[in-house]
Structure 1
Amino acid sequence: MALNGLKNAIPHSFRHTHISVLRSNANIPLKEVQERVGHVLAETTDGYTHEMTNDQSKSVLAISKFIGKVG
């Protein structure tokens, strides 16, 4: 199954996207994100956090749709 917008994605990029999505939600505490991804220091988690661009938002949507189909 092809995922539109993800042809150049590598597994580690999903980690960055995952953390960025969680950090963009003000209802999810930093500590929870840290524990989820195995970071001890907040600085490490923040280093993975990127402001979501429109293209990244499309990728997140594509991943969500894919997970909905297989999950």
Structure 2
Amino acid sequence: MSENTRSNLSPPRRYDDPSTKIWSLYLDQAEKNNERITESWKGDMDAILIFAGLFSASSFFLPKFIAN
């Protein structure tokens, strides 16, 4: 994709036309919401990775302890 086409696809950050103020407000609110959701996903992913690490470690060491 050319640079010109790529720039045409991205939305402008602010709208200068007063009749499109709603879109500027919408973009601001959508960006805040996206950041909040992303932070929530990061926290959830941290917990999942910790659980997976502990589970894999315990499943690796349990057979060694049971065999003895």
- TM-score, scaled to structure 1: 0.39
Tell me which structure has the larger Cα radius of gyration. Answer: 2
